[in-house]
Amino acid sequence: MRKAKSLDAGYFEGLYRSDPDPWGFASRDYEAAKYADTLAALGGKRARRALEMGCSIGVFTRLLAAQCDALVATEVSQTALDQARARCADLANVRFHLASSAAEGIDGAFDLMVLSEIVYYWDDQDLAAVAQAIDGALAPGGRLLLVHWLGETDYPRSGDDAVAALAGRLSFARTVERRDRREQYRLDLWRRAPDQAAPARTEG
C-alpha cells in the first residue's frame, strides 16, 4: 500500500544511518547506466547554474558537476549530505545545502534543474510547493530533467504518476525535448519557453 504522506527527513536519515548506500548508487550497474544516460540526455550543453535535488551521497553530483559552472546540491539527510560533501570535496563549483522541506534550496535562478528519483516521494502538498518554487526559479529557456524508476513502490506516487503530477502543477509554457522510456526507468527533459520573465538571480 502506498504511503499517503511525503517521506520525511527522518525516513531517509534512518536509511543512511543503517546503510551508507542503501540503493547502491556507488556500486550497481543499473545506477551507472542510468547516470550515463542522464548525462547523455543533456547533450553536452554546459549549465551556468544548476540544481540537483536529492543528491544523496553525491555519486551523480560528481558527474553532473563536470557539466556545470556552478551546481547547488540539496539533500534532506545530514548523513547522506556528509558523504556527498566528502565525495566532492575537491570540486570548487559545488555547493551543498541541507533542506528541511521538499522545496527548500530552490533559490535564485537556474538554467538546469535535475530531479532524479525524487518526485514520487512527495504528497500533493509538497509537490505543489516544489512546483511553485520551480516556477519561480527555472530561468527562461532553462531545462528541467526528470528521471524516475518505473517499478512498483510504496511511495505516495509511482514514477509515471510523479511525472504527470508535476507536469500538471507547473504553470510555465514548455517544450518536451526528450521523453525516453527504458525497461526500468523513464527520462523526461523539458525546456521552459525562452520569452517568459526571468526570476530574480541569487548567486551561490
Cell 556545470: give the residue: 68
Q: What does the CA dihedral 62, 84, 104, 35 come to, rounded to 10 degrees?
A: 40
Residue 121 one-letter amino acid: Y
**Rama region for 36: left / alpha / beta (φ>0; ψ in -120 to 50; rest):** alpha
Dist. CA 50–CA 14, nearest whole Å: 28
Which residue ranges make up each domain of the chain?
9-192
Query: How high is the pLDDT of residue 1?
Result: 66
8 A C-beta contact, residue 46 and residue 69: yes
Tell which residue, 187, 165, 161, 184, has the closest CA to residue 176.
187
Digit-coded pLDDT (tens) for 48-78: 999 999 999 999 999 999 999 999 999 999 9
8 A C-beta contact, residue 82 and residue 177: no
CA distances from 126 to 66, 89, 116, 198 (A): 30, 31, 16, 24
Tell which residue, 195, 126, 116, 130, has the closest CA to residue 159.
116
Query: How high is the pLDDT of residue 202?
Result: 45
**CATH top-level class of 9-192:** alpha beta
The pTM for the full model equals 0.92
8 A C-beta contact, residue 15 and residue 56: no
Query: How high is the pLDDT of residue 7?
Result: 86
pLDDT beneath 50, residues of the chain = 200-204
